Amino acid sequence: MSGVNKAQLIGRILGRKMDPDAASPAVRAGDAATDRLTRFDSLPGYKEMQVLMAATRTFGVDNPFFRTHEGLATSTTTIGGRRYLNFSSYNYLGLNGHPEVNRAAKDAIDRYGVSASASRLVAGERPVQRELEEALADAYGVEDCVVFVSGHATNVSTIATLFGPRDIVIHDSLIHNSVLEGARLSGAARRSFPHNDTAALDSILADIRGQFERALIVVEGHYSMDGDIPDLPALIALKRRHKCFLMVDEAHALGVLGRTGRGVAEHFGSDPRDVDIWMGTLSKTLAGCGGYVAGERALVEHLKYAAPGFVYSVGIAPPLAAASLTALRIMRREPERVERLQENGRLFLKLAAEAGLDTGLSQGLSIIPAITGSSLKAVRLSSAFFEHGINVQPVIHPAVEEKAARLRFFLTETHTEADMRLACETAKKLIYQGTRI
């Protein structure tokens, strides 16, 4: 409904004629207080960010965000002409920059150019786009898959397309923002359950499931902030008992969990067909950019014709599709990469604990947090690491609760034991020197 129609409708409801172009009384006042209505720097979120940045400057700490990496970022990176040990990359299996991956992307550019140039529904497909979807479906052991151009938009568009006001979305309390946005846009009711507490989820479902037509349970296969995993077999049992759909976000699980990196289902030995919606991203293990949904054919076909994030968006760029397809093939061909990553995760978790870091719930896979308890402390510690030649980024409020502010170490299979020992010895030194965490 247009703004004019809304204004006219409100006027009829209130029993008076409204001029859609008329200013509100607050705007008509024209005093200084109303300037905030047309200024972006008056937005509460912006003001909060500026307060934090001012506090860090007071302590002589540089802004740790948006640093420019001057080359390939793997276990090392170059920033400002200096080489850094790097723990801020999702390049879990070292496939971004792999010669085969680069060659596949270059070949796709030579054949298709750098863009698909239009929506796949409107203007057709490129073979490499479908090859990637078929390879992902095969990796998950399900019927089909659809690839979107954005991981965040994959969750938003999928949930908003499949569910509506008569339904409910029930998610883990630590679920990614994209799921929250998708649930909000869908119009469905939304409830959270305590992190990884399947008993609490069971109780919630027993209490309210009958009030809604369809119910969706959403969890992450590997939690991006805390580095722990859900009890997938218990969730499958619950979704069957309460007649729900189950969706698992595998953004940080593919390439990380399971003997060959096929995710949380492989980790538990579960049948992947018992999960209704597998979601993941191409920007971590698979060295590209975008997201995907895998599952039964009816799900995929429906999204291809109805999901706004697919229908009204350009198709994935052919060089990105080719890069991710090749990365997936290497992952499946070389499971030793997954094994090395998992070994690195276990070792780093052990070394971090010995150094006195609070690693929270991490299970020692590819994500190890160091919880500081405040955003300012997280930023200060990140800056101290940077001065010592180690790049590790802070995660601050509102991305997490203030008391849960942290540094987040991302491990890759290319990190060496010496790299990890240096990082943890540096952490111990910083604690001893009084950099409070």
| CATH number, domain containing residue 402 | 3.90.1150.10
The pLDDT mean for the chain works out to 91
Task: Say what the pLDDT of residue 433 is.
Answer: 67
Burial of 350 (0-12, 13-18, 19+ CB in 10 A): middle
The residue-averaged pLDDT of 208-231 equals: 98
Alpha-carbon gap, residue 306 to 404, rounded angstroms:
38
Tokens of 38: 């047309």
Same domain for 87 and 129? Answer: no
Contact 325, 345 (CB under 8 A): no
Query: The tokens of 272 are what?
Result: 């992947």
Question: Tell me, what's the pLDDT at 395?
Answer: 93
CA 99 to CA 141: how far, in whole Å? 28
CA distances from 217 to 157, 248, 393 (A): 16, 8, 31
Tokens standing for residue 236: 């499958």
* Residue, of 209 and 15, whose pLDDT is higher: 209
Residue 408 contacts residue 335 (beta carbons within 8 Å): no
184 lies in the same domain as 306: yes
Average pLDDT in the 51-61 region?
73
Question: Which domain covers residue 77, as residue numbers?
Answer: 50-96+335-433
In a domain, 40, yes or no: no
C-alpha torsion angle, residues 417, 422, 427, 430 (rounded to 10): 170
Residue 2 located in a structural domain:
no
- What average pLDDT does the segment 287-307 reach? 98
Distance CA 257, CA 284 (A): 13
Q: What is the pLDDT of residue 3?
A: 42
Phi first, then psi: what are they for 288, rounded to 5°?
Answer: -130, -135
Is the confidence at residue 21, as pLDDT, over 90? no
Token pair 């006042």 is found at 29
Determine the pLDDT at residue 51: 81
Q: How many domains does the chain have?
A: 2
Least confident of 152-166, 339-353, 386-400: 386-400
pLDDT band at 101 (very low <50, low <70, confident <90, very high): very high
Task: Give yes or no for residue 15 having a pLDDT over 60.
Answer: no
148: CB partners within 8 A, 6+ apart: 154, 157, 290, 291, 292, 293, 307, 309, 310, 313, 316
- Provide DSSP, 278-347: EEEESSSTTSS--EEEEE-HHHHHHHHHH-HHHHTSPPPPHHHHHHHHHHHHHHHH-THHHHHHHHHHHH
Residue 27 lies in a domain: no
Helix (H) or strand (E) holding 268: helix 264-268
Nearest partner of 370 among 290, 435, 279, 300, judged by Cα: 435
Domain end marker among 282, 300, 333: 333
Q: Please tell me the predicted confidence (pLDDT) of residue 33.
A: 67
Cα–Cα distance for residue pair 212/244, rounded to 1 Å = 11
Average pLDDT over residues 384-406: 93
Residue 25: pLDDT band (50, 70, 90) is: low
Q: What is the rounded average pLDDT of the residues 308-320?
A: 97
Instruction: Note the maximum CA span of the chain.
Output: 75
- CB-side neighbour CA atoms (13 Å) of 270: 23
Sign, CA torsion 239/240/245/248: positive
**Last residue of one domain, picked from the residues 333, 351, 377:** 333
Task: Give me the residues paired with residue 145 across strands.
Answer: 294
Residues 376 and 402 in one domain: yes
pLDDT at 49: 79
Residue 251 lies in a domain: yes
Mean pLDDT of 262-284: 98
Please indicate, yes or no, whether residues 72 and 137 belong to a single structural domain of this protein. Answer: no
Q: What is the CATH number of the domain that holds 236?
A: 3.40.640.10
Q: What is the pLDDT of residue 13?
A: 32
The first and second tokens of residue 120, run together, are 């796949």
Q: Find the mean pLDDT for residues 38-54.
A: 84
How far apart (Å, rounded) are the C-alpha atoms in residues 136 and 27?
54
Identify the band that residue 28 occupies on the pLDDT scale cut at 50, 70 and 90: low
Least confident of 27-36, 152-161, 229-238, 401-410: 27-36
Whether 31 is in a domain gets the answer no
pLDDT more than 70, % of the chain: 90
Where residue 56 falls among pLDDT bands split at 50, 70, 90?
low
pLDDT in the model for residue 14 = 35
Q: What is the pLDDT of residue 30?
A: 57
pTM to 2 decimal places: 0.89
Q: How confident is the model at residue 48 (pLDDT cuts 50, 70, 90)?
A: confident
Reported as a pLDDT band with limits 50, 70 and 90, residue 434 is: low
Q: Which residues contact 70 (CB under 8 A, 6 or more apart)?
A: 78, 79, 80, 81
Nearest by Cα to 75 from 434, 428, 374, 409: 409
Among residues 333, 350, 385, the one where a domain terminates is 333
For residue 346, what pLDDT band results from cuts at 50, 70 and 90? very high
**Spatial distance between the Cα atoms of 288 and 282, rounded to a whole number of angstroms:** 5
